[in-house]
């Protein structure tokens, strides 16, 4: 049986640009609904400065609640050593997600450092994470296009993949932060990334700004990739990427894979319940398409596979 892994990022990436404060209780309810649907790898929060991303000010409270849930492997985003220290204090962190950008301008706008400055700090965090037994993902933002520099050469991404792989990361993440990639570009880059990464697992994080998210995910699958980061109901976006829309909706990708006979180990009916709840937390219109269809018919389509 062909099988893929879905990492849902809605509790972090999905909510980080939401202007209305989402309560800690609602964030935990969202995570609980994702767990009930069978998703056990969830990016739960981000340990960033609350002045930068106010929505994540309750990161410690969220992790205190998540730490009691054996059914989930919590993933958290961190931007620096202070963030790592805060995150690792909770003990139940499965993986940290560190972000670099494929362009200098976006890196400066996003974290106010050059790519090299960022990587040096990352190496120190990586050493501490290894000592603590915490996995590390090195994610590369704007891998296909940058809102400030435009086209991103593949070599920019591949150099970072090689550096991170040699440093000993546990996962490489390739992100289409502004949702500009096309399937042929995804096919080309992902094949090269997989070759450079070798035995290191690679994931893709797709935004659906131009409606190409599902097509790009399938292109990545055909290229050999098996780990996908998505956001339930398609909520979210990057606060430092002007014009970017939400993420590829978890339920849309799961529907696609299930119709194709590709195993996700996710309960589709419960996933739609989670999608409804996520949409209720967002002030923006959900990008998820499947959720808006006739529910009974859609569920039956999946069951018939």
Give me the mean pLDDT over the 168-197 stretch: 97
Averaged confidence pLDDT in the chain: 94
Confidence of residue 297 (pLDDT cuts 50, 70, 90): confident
**DSSP states of 61-100:** HHHHHHTT-TT-EEEEE-SSHHHHHHHHTTS---EEEEEE
For residues 92 and 134, the answer to whether their CB atoms sit within 8 Å is no
The pLDDT assigned to 225 comes to: 98
**C-alpha–C-alpha distance, residues 222 and 220, integer Å:** 5
Percent over 70 (pLDDT), the chain: 97
Which residue is it, tokens 């937390």? 281
The pLDDT assigned to 244 comes to: 65
Confidence of residue 251 (pLDDT cuts 50, 70, 90): very high
Q: What is the pLDDT of residues 50-87, one digit of tens each?
A: 988 999 999 999 999 998 899 999 999 999 999 999 99
Which listed residue (137, 146, 238, 304) is catalytic? 238
Indicate if the pLDDT at residue 305 is higher than 60: no
Give me the mean pLDDT over the 161-189 stretch: 97
**C-alpha–C-alpha distance, residues 28 and 65, integer Å:** 7
Angle at CA of residue 288, ends 226 and 30, nearest 5° = 80
The pLDDT assigned to 240 comes to: 63
The pLDDT assigned to 176 comes to: 96
**C-alpha–C-alpha distance, residues 28 and 34, integer Å:** 10
Segment (H or E) for 111: helix 104-111
Give me the mean pLDDT over the 189-203 stretch: 98
User: Is residue 238 annotated as part of the catalytic site, yes or no?
Assistant: yes
The pLDDT assigned to 299 comes to: 86
Indicate if the pLDDT at residue 246 is higher than 90: no
Give me the mean pLDDT over the 261-289 stretch: 92
Q: What is the pLDDT of residues 135-148, one digit of tens each?
A: 999 999 999 999 99
Task: Please check whether the domain covering 5-303 is classified as CATH 3.40.50.300.
Answer: no
Indicate if the pLDDT at residue 178 is higher than 60: yes
For residues 172 and 203, the answer to whether their CB atoms sit within 8 Å is yes
Mean pLDDT is lowest, of 75-84, 128-137, 276-285, for: 276-285
Give me the mean pLDDT over the 203-226 stretch: 96
Q: What is the pLDDT of residues 114-123, one digit of tens each?
A: 999 999 999 9
């Amino acid at each position: 049986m062909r099988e893929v892994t879905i990492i849902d990022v809605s509790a972090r990436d999905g909510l980080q640009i939401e202007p209305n404060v989402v309560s800690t209780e609602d964030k935990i309810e969202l995570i609980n609904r994702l767990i009930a649907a069978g998703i056990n790898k969830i990016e739960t929060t981000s340990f960033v400065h609350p002045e930068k991303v106010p929505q994540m000010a309750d990161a410690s409270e969220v992790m205190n609640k998540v730490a009691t849930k054996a059914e989930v492997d919590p993933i958290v985003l961190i931007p620096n050593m202070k963030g790592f220290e805060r995150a690792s204090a909770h003990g139940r962190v499965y993986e940290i997600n560190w972000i670099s950008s494929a362009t200098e301008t976006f890196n400066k706008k996003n974290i106010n450092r050059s790519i090299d400055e960022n990587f040096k700090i990352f190496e120190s965090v990586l050493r501490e994470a290894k000592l603590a037994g915490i996995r590390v993902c090195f994610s590369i933002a704007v891998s296909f296009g940058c809102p400030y520099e435009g086209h991103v050469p593949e070599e920019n991404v591949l150099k970072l993949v090689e550096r991170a792989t040699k440093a000993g990361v546990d996962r490489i993440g390739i992100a289409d932060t502004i949702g500009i990639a096309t399937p042929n570009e995804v096919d080309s880059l992902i094949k090269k990334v997989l070759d450079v990464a070798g035995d290191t697992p690679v994931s893709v994080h797709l935004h659906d700004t131009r409606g190409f998210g599902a097509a790009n995910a399938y292109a990545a699958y055909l290229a050999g990739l098996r780990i996908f980061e998505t956001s339930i109901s398609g909520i979210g976006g990057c606060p430092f990427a002007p014009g970017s829309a939400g993420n590829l909706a978890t339920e849309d990708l799961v529907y696609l894979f299930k119709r194709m006979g590709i195993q996700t180990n996710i309960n589709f009916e419960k996933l739609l319940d989670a999608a409804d709840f996520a949409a209720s937390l967002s002030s923006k219109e959900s990008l998820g398409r499947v959720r808006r269809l006739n529910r009974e018919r859609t569920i039956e389509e999946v069951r018939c596979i």
